[in-house]
A and B are shown apart, each in its own frame.
Chain A
Amino acid sequence: MLSPGYVARRVLHALVVLAVVAVVTFFIVRLAPGGPAALADPALRDAERAVIEARLGLNDPLPVQFLKFVGNAVRGDLGQSFLFGTPTTQVIASRLGNTLILAGAALTLTLLVAVPLGTLSGLRPHSWLDRLVSFISVVVLAVPVFWLGLILIIALAVLRPVLPAGGMYTTGMEGNLVDLLRHLLLPAVVLASASIAELLRYTRSSVRSAAKLDHVRTARAKGLPQRTVHVRHVLKNALIPVVTVIGLQLPRLVGGAAVTETIFAWPGMGRLSVEAALGRDYPLILGVTLVVAAAVVLFNLLIDLVYPLIDPRIRTDG
């Protein structure tokens, strides 16, 4: 059961983390050489710069600026994007859904592939399946994500054009689900690859160590069928820590999305951050970083709250 004290502690922890995130991002921007005004246009003359700095409130003491920044952010005002000329929040909102589709597809793919395969190799260590799976995951962890994307595009979209090389929809087919799935397949596989390899290795070792526990031997000794032992006694224990690792995959998926989206011209947050960085659009890149961090913190909070429900050994009181 979840005690109110546990929930309150987790929520408080999430808020502290968010505050640290806000301080770090704020100071990275303010400590930049020349200040934010120079970033917009390095060729500005001193008089022009002074005007801009006054308008942006850059002459206030740093703590005042920080409080203003936090106050505005809480009210959903992250400033105007230099590149798009519209409020940053609007630009982000138009891209957020696309990234969620891509990251959601990759996460689903990760779970569907990594957990069953990892379980099978963990239950049969040193079998041919186990060796093959371990070998492939070691190799996949060493492949740069974007290079895998490039190779797949060359193989499946250029040399043998069976799938689209990029974008979200074929022009004129916007909203068509089949078309979306065809465009989604390659980027989702590329984005999921590293997560699959990592979760697979983790599931495997977790299942392996759970299978060595005493109560599993007891269950076997009292004559329970193999299947029952595996499902009721091994997996129940082995998969609990796997949930934590799934939580850790989110920052990786979101970070990987930046590269994957750029290669596949997927109109999401990751590509937006790269565009913003190359265009030196600091309100936009600051906004994207904050939104992404908030999403990750929220997701981890969710995992923390679900954890005691699946593992009764976690004490939530006291």
Chain B
Amino acid sequence: MAELATTRAYLAQAPAQRSWRRLRRDPVALGSAATLVLVVVFAFLGPVVRPVDPDVLDLARQLAPSTLAQPLGTDESGRDVLVRLMLGGRISLMVGLFAVLVSVSVGTLVGALAGFYGGWLAGLLMRVTDGILALPAFFLSVLTLTFFGPGLVPLVLVIGLTSWMGLARLVRGEVLKFREEQYVEAARALGSHDSRVLFRHVLPQILPTLIVNASVGISTAILAESALSFLGLGIQPPSASWGNMLSGAQNYFYTAPRLALYPGVLILITVLATNLLGDAVRDATDPTD
């Protein structure tokens, strides 16, 4: 018995270890991971190392160029650009992460229920999914934010709740596939409750699919946050986010085009690294090669 368990553990672990080895040798994956670590350090430790008040207005130093004390200069209200980029990064990263938690939870739940039970429940859930998918997500976000107000929590909920549909379809397809497996049948025959079968035997199988999707979801969510905040519907000033900093920069094209450069470059780097890392993880966990 003990021997069997060891063999089983080995078999279960081997593909994961192989993927991990592949990932560690992939220069793109390593570079992307390192970039993401740098961005997180910049956003979360930066303001600790550089304790400058991000909201203090210095009207004598509006749109000031770079100095030793303020390496990236000041914005239209004389606020320190560097520290606002750091704090804006916290917001953007947190919105990305929490929005994905929302969308992965809802998408997995809807997809798993529809795939596991089928019948009228699946019909209803998937029609609702199609309906929401037909609405351009952006308009749905604008509509919802109008009514539930701008701010961090509504923003996270809106981005999460408008981006779970693709995942729900994917999860449903996967659950349908695994539902018919013999070990699932065995678990049922042993009298396992539905929820146990679903959470212990079916859902762990689709975990790699979920992880890859979540990484793409984070970058989509960061882009959505920046667009909504840019339009004035997301994070509200004086709080900084990369999106609303770009919105402020819009009026100073002629005098300070650099203000439009920094937040955009940070978004680009973060999203690019997330996407590339997601692609690398998918390639590394692909069982077909």
The answer to whether B134 and A21 touch across the interface, beta carbons within 8 angstroms, is yes
Assembled-state Cα–Cα distance A186/B251 (Å): 19
B231 A39 Cβ-Cβ under 8 A: no
- Contacting pair A293 B136 (CB below 8 A): yes
Pair B143/A289 contact, Cβ less than 8 Å: yes
Interface of A is mostly: helix
Question: A16, A146, A277: which contacts B227 (Cβ < 8 A)?
Answer: A146
Interface size on B, residues (CB 8 A): 46
Contacts between chains A and B (CB distance < 8 A), count:
161
**Inter-chain contact B230/A146, CB cutoff 8 Å:** yes
Tell me the complex Cα distance, A146–B268, Å: 12
Please, how many angstroms separate the alpha-carbon atoms of A23 and B131 in the complex? 10
Instruction: Contacts A21-B135, A158-B257, A251-B136 given; indicate if A32 touches B230 (C-beta within 8 A).
Output: no
Q: Which of A19, A142, A154, A252 has the most CB of B within 10 A?
A: A142
- Are A292 and B139 neighbours in the complex by a CB distance under 8 Å? yes
* Cβ-based interface call for A256 (8 A): yes
A241 in contact (CB, < 8 A): no
A286 & B143 in contact (Cβ 8 Å cutoff): yes
Knowing A20-B130, A24-B132, A138-B275 are in contact, say whether A285-B230 is a contact too (CB < 8 A): no
With contact pairs A143-B268, A154-B253, A273-B142 given, residues A39 and B147 touching in the complex (Cβ less than 8 Å):
yes
Q: Does B254 contact A (CB under 8 A)?
A: yes
Please pick, from A39, A142, A151, A259, the residue contacting B260 in the complex, using a CB distance under 8 A.
A151
Is A262 positioned at the interface, with any CB of B under 8 Å from its CB? yes
Contact A274 B130 (CB under 8 A): no
Q: Is A172 an interface residue (CB 8 A)?
A: no
How long is the Cα–Cα vector from A19 to B86 in the complex, in angstroms? Answer: 44
Residues in B with CB closer than 8 Å to A278 are 231-233
- Do B127 and A17 touch (CB < 8 A)? yes
A151/B139 contact (C-beta < 8 A), A158-B253, A259-B227, A259-B230 known: no
Known: A143-B268, A147-B246, A273-B142. A251 touches B227 (CB 8 A): no
State whether A25 touches B131 (Cβ < 8 A): no
Chain B contacts with A in 127-155, Cβ cutoff 8 A: 127-128, 130-140, 142-149
Which one, B134, B145, B250, contacts A293 given CB within 8 A? B134
In the bound complex, residues from chain A placing their C-beta under 8 Å from that of B267 are 142, 144, 147
Kindly identify which residue among B128, B137, B226 contacts A144, using a CB–CB cutoff of 8 Å.
B226
Task: Indicate with 1 or 0, residue by residue over A135-166, a CB within 8 angstroms of chain B CB atoms.
Answer: 00011011111110011011000110000000
Sampled A-B contacts (17; CB under 8 Å): A13-B130, A20-B127, A20-B131, A25-B135, A138-B276, A141-B275, A143-B268, A144-B223, A144-B246, A150-B250, A150-B253, A150-B260, A150-B264, A251-B133, A259-B230, A277-B143, A277-B233
Interface, chain A (partner B; CB < 8 A): 13, 16-21, 23-25, 28-29, 31-33, 39, 138-139, 141-147, 150-151, 153-154, 158-159, 251-252, 254-256, 258-259, 262, 273-274, 276-278, 280, 282, 285-286, 288-289, 292-293, 296-297, 300
In addition to A251-B133, A258-B231, 17 A-B residue pairs with Cβ atoms within 8 Å of each other are: A16-B127, A20-B130, A24-B140, A29-B143, A142-B271, A147-B263, A147-B267, A151-B261, A251-B137, A254-B138, A258-B139, A258-B142, A259-B138, A274-B231, A274-B233, A285-B142, A289-B140
